[in-house]
A and B are shown apart, each in its own frame.
Chain A
Amino acid sequence: MAGMARREFLKYVAALGAGLLIGGGIGYALRKPEVQIIKEEKPTEVGEKLKEKIKIGHIAIFSGPLSTYGELQRRGSLLAAEEINKAGGIMGSKVEIVYRDSAGKPDEAVKQVRSLVEREGCDFIIGIDSSGVVLAVAEVMPEVNKLLFVTHAATHRLTEESIYKKGIKEVFRITVPVYQDGTLAAFIAAQLPATRWACVHPDYEYGYSSWELFQKTLSKLRPDVEFVAEAWARVGTTDFTPLISSIMEKKPNGVHTVEWGVDLFTFVRQARESGLFNAVKYGGGYAWINPMGYSIDAMETLATEYPEGCWVSGRYVWMYPDTELNRKFVKAHIERWGHYPAYSGEASYTAVYLIKKIIEITKSLDIDEHIKTLENAAVYSPAGVRFIRKEDHQAVYEVPYGQIKHDPKYPIPVLTNLKTLPAQEYYRHPPFEEMPPYKDLYEKVLQKV
């Protein structure tokens, strides 16, 4: 059985100890996973240095209303670079990270990519926050002939269209795509008593694709549910109350919202005052699903104002999985920065270590070698084992949802009642024609949740 093989595999990988490990030829998707080769981590002989310095360009949003997100990523990549340099660098070369601001604008990010490669001599690019930006940046990666590791932007169009259909091989996404926000959210929703769902989403690509995946998946899982109302908020909405009251008019008893950042804070606060939480209350909490609710900025700022019992997730939550590597990462992050790691911070940390590992394995800076090594590899990282799918260069790994709990032992709310599915059961699969749940998994999936 697929699940068993996978669990054994996880144990095997975990036994190999800390650090990132890359194995080739991992099965994925609905095929039975087959573990083929796992390379044990050996100390790399320091031969001739490939370069004096390995330079990584990190592009994120460092200005404007969303500048927190650049900072959260920087904490991860800088921590990794510091750790690596302290331990002798990459085959003797120091790592240097050059940070650049995309300002959240596609043309600006493209300009920064060129400048990082041509003027700074960067060997790799990591980062990129938003959907629109990542689609534009992906287009220029073949031209500059460097690898891009995406650590935040989540649109499925990147992996399904730019990489899979158009064949852009230079881009890998090592963070979770909107399947987390739309599809897995629907699996969680299917377990709740709510039958009348409404949404409040940001009015751009991410909001629309999450809501589409959510509706399609949930209506398959639960033919009895209705989608009764939609509200679309511009980024930077100052007042959500007209949106809240217009959806409440349709008497929803469940809410799906992918609001994030400052808009999420405004929305949660105003939803409390407008009585929206009361409308979606059920015996076990709130039928309130907010995929980005467990983002660290939200937990630090909203804290106890976010009602206990709401279902939230992130693209990584620090308490999952409970592995030595993850505990070590969380501890190091708190010691270095005084904050719990954010999802994009974990992804940035992993990206830098991944770069180290592929250079050590291939002993070169040849990107064709790197691509070959990465495709179908399994990467042991704080967020768990990421399978890098060959077809779409998407790292496949699962992240749980959980219910918010205010525990005075922790400076930020924690999650209880963690629920997830094996990633291959909620990620869409090449050729990306059908929506989950996949027919043959349908029964099994429902039993498992």
Chain B
Amino acid sequence: METAAIAVQAMLGMSMGMLYWIVSSGLTFTFGVTRVLNFAHGAFYMFGAYFTLSIFELTQNYIVSLLTAAAIVALIGAVSERVLISRIYGLPVPFQLVLTFGLVLIFDDLVRIFWGTVPKMIPPQFVGSFNIFGRSLPIFALYFIITGIVIALVIYLLLSKTDWGMEIRALTTDRETAMSSGLNPSFLYVTSFMFGSFLAGLGGGLYLPISSASPAMGEHIIIYAFIVTVIGGLGSIKGAFISALIIGMVESLGAFFIPWMTIALPYIALAFVLILRPEGIFGEK
């Protein structure tokens, strides 16, 4: 009885962790390459949800809307990088904070102007649930787990099997040698920013059918993305994957065993990691 319940909680925790993973993968990826901690990542996630919503209203096709929206967000990411963020590479961290936080405010207000303040929904896309150990597991939980794993595989293949991935790895491993051997960092910066924004947009679009699109929705997820990124080690993709799963599981099992403490658990996990291993699980010293 108890074991089955715990197994179901763990599966739900995995599914919850996968959303954190999808959003934080983009954040940590961009950071690894550009060394800019992008606060506006949450705003890209919000754009992903809103574009998916609007395109869905036109096309009534969820998958098409999801991918088109993420592509549009990638373009917004590219423009932001070229026009604004590229100007602050190498400058002290406060510049990054002020600039990317400024973007958050602008993007949030754009959403309010174009879509209004009342949250919006599309019809649920993954209706129903499985019966597993006598308990119901919503289909959307499974869809998150599968999508999360697919995204992890795609990132792995891109980084290990393509020239672009090799250059990215070279740049993140030894910046100076890589640049002196003729890599074009601008191209890598803009493309990695696009890719990171694409993942944020995808996260927002994936999240839309299980909830809604609302102004500043990125504020909630970005805190978790930061926790995940810091626990995993800033810039570490593998770390983000593992720590997103840990956070999802901790929250889900916490809700089962110690419900009154649920919201404190991710922060407790973060504190533990910072005390024992300040650079994060897979971080570099």
Residues of B within 8 A of A297 (CB): 118-119
Cβ proximity bits A224-258 to B, threshold 8 Å, 1 near / 0 not:
00000111111111110111011011000000000
A64 touches B210 (CB 8 A): no
Residue B233 at the chain A interface, CB threshold 8 Å: no
A262 touches B9 (CB 8 A): no
Determine the distance from Cα of A266 to Cα of B175 in the docked complex, in whole angstroms: 43
A246 touches B259 (CB 8 A): yes
Residues of B within 8 A of A269 (CB): 121, 124, 210-212
Residues of A within 8 A of B119 (CB): 68, 261-262, 265, 297, 301
- In whole Å, how far is B1's beta carbon from the nearest beta carbon of chain A? 9
A301 touches B136 (CB 8 A): no
A65 touches B220 (CB 8 A): yes
Determine the distance from Cα of A71 to Cα of B260 in the docked complex, in whole angstroms: 33
A242 touches B216 (CB 8 A): no
Residues of A within 8 A of B108 (CB): 63-64
Residues of B within 8 A of A241 (CB): 12, 15-16, 138, 141
Determine the distance from Cα of A137 to Cα of B262 in the docked complex, in whole angstroms: 29
Name the contact of B262 in the complex, choosing from A232, A270, A300 (C-beta under 8 A): A232
B256 touches A273 (CB 8 A): no
Contacts known (A242-B256, A262-B119, A301-B119); A273 close to B262, Cβ less than 8 A: no
Which of A231, A233, A241, A245 has most chain B Cβ within 10 Å? A241
Q: List 6 A-B contacts (CB under 8 A).
A: A64-B219, A232-B263, A238-B211, A242-B16, A242-B255, A273-B210
Residues of B within 8 A of A249 (CB): 5, 135, 256
Determine the distance from Cα of A229 to Cα of B9 in the docked complex, in whole angstroms: 15
Determine the distance from Cα of A249 to Cα of B253 in the docked complex, in whole angstroms: 13
Residues of B within 8 A of A261 (CB): 119
Determine the distance from Cα of A234 to Cα of B207 in the docked complex, in whole angstroms: 17
B256 touches A246 (CB 8 A): yes
B211 touches A266 (CB 8 A): yes
Cβ proximity bits A270-307 to B, threshold 8 Å, 1 near / 0 not:
10111100000000000000000000010011100100
Residue B139 at the chain A interface, CB threshold 8 Å: yes
Residues of B within 8 A of A231 (CB): 255, 259, 262
Residue A322 at the chain B interface, CB threshold 8 Å: no
A238 touches B136 (CB 8 A): no
Residue A67 at the chain B interface, CB threshold 8 Å: yes
A273 touches B220 (CB 8 A): no
Residue A34 at the chain B interface, CB threshold 8 Å: no
A43-78 interface with B by 8 A CB criterion = 63-65, 67-68, 70-71
B200-247 interface with A by 8 A CB criterion = 207, 210-212, 214-217, 219-221, 224
Determine the distance from Cα of A302 to Cα of B211 in the docked complex, in whole angstroms: 10
A275 touches B211 (CB 8 A): no
Given A242-B9, A243-B259, A262-B217, 10 more contacts at CB 8 Å? Answer: A67-B216, A230-B259, A232-B260, A233-B263, A241-B15, A242-B13, A242-B251, A245-B5, A246-B259, A269-B121
B211 touches A65 (CB 8 A): no
Name the contact of B121 in the complex, choosing from A68, A248, A265 (C-beta under 8 A): A265
Residue A369 at the chain B interface, CB threshold 8 Å: no
A248 touches B220 (CB 8 A): no
Going nearest first, the 6 A-B pairs with the smallest beta carbon separation are A236-B220, A242-B252, A273-B138, A266-B211, A234-B263, A246-B256
Determine the distance from Cα of A298 to Cα of B5 in the docked complex, in whole angstroms: 32
- In whole Å, how far is A281's beta carbon from the nearest beta carbon of chain B? 15
A238 touches B212 (CB 8 A): no
Interface size counted on chain A using CB atoms at 8 A: 41
B139 touches A65 (CB 8 A): no
Residue A203 at the chain B interface, CB threshold 8 Å: yes
Determine the distance from Cα of A249 to Cα of B224 in the docked complex, in whole angstroms: 27
The residues of A with any CB-CB pair to B shorter than 8 Å are 63-65, 67-68, 70-71, 203, 229-239, 241-243, 245-246, 248-249, 261-262, 265-266, 269-270, 272-275, 297, 300-302, 305
Cβ proximity bits B158-198 to A, threshold 8 Å, 1 near / 0 not:
00000000000000000000000000000000000000000
Residue of B nearest to A267 (CB): B211
Determine the distance from Cα of A67 to Cα of B117 in the docked complex, in whole angstroms: 6
Determine the distance from Cα of A246 to Cα of B13 in the docked complex, in whole angstroms: 12
Contacts known (A232-B263, A269-B211, A275-B136); A238 close to B220, Cβ less than 8 A: yes
B127 touches A273 (CB 8 A): yes
Determine the distance from Cα of A273 to Cα of B215 in the docked complex, in whole angstroms: 24
B103-157 interface with A by 8 A CB criterion = 108, 112, 117-121, 124, 126-129, 135-136, 138-141
Residues of A within 8 A of B118 (CB): 68, 71, 297, 300-301
B117 touches A239 (CB 8 A): no
Determine the distance from Cα of A230 to Cα of B255 in the docked complex, in whole angstroms: 9
Determine the distance from Cα of A203 to Cα of B117 in the docked complex, in whole angstroms: 24
B211 touches A71 (CB 8 A): no
Residues of A within 8 A of B138 (CB): 241, 270, 273-274
Contacts known (A239-B19, A248-B135); A301 close to B220, Cβ less than 8 A: no
Name the contact of B212 in the complex, choosing from A229, A237, A265 (C-beta under 8 A): A265
Residue of A nearest to B23 (CB): A238
B8 touches A245 (CB 8 A): yes
Residues of A within 8 A of B8 (CB): 245
Determine the distance from Cα of A65 to Cα of B43 in the docked complex, in whole angstroms: 12
Residues of B within 8 A of A64 (CB): 108, 215-216, 219
B220 touches A68 (CB 8 A): no
Determine the distance from Cα of A70 to Cα of B224 in the docked complex, in whole angstroms: 26
- In whole Å, how far is A195's beta carbon from the nearest beta carbon of chain B? 21
Residues of A within 8 A of B126 (CB): 273
Determine the distance from Cα of A243 to Cα of B255 in the docked complex, in whole angstroms: 6
B9-35 interface with A by 8 A CB criterion = 9, 12-13, 15-16, 19
Name the contact of A238 in the complex, choosing from B124, B129, B207 (C-beta under 8 A): B207
Residue of B nearest to A248 (CB): B135
- In whole Å, how far is B250's beta carbon from the nearest beta carbon of chain A? 10
Determine the distance from Cα of A68 to Cα of B212 in the docked complex, in whole angstroms: 14
- In whole Å, how far is B269's beta carbon from the nearest beta carbon of chain A? 14
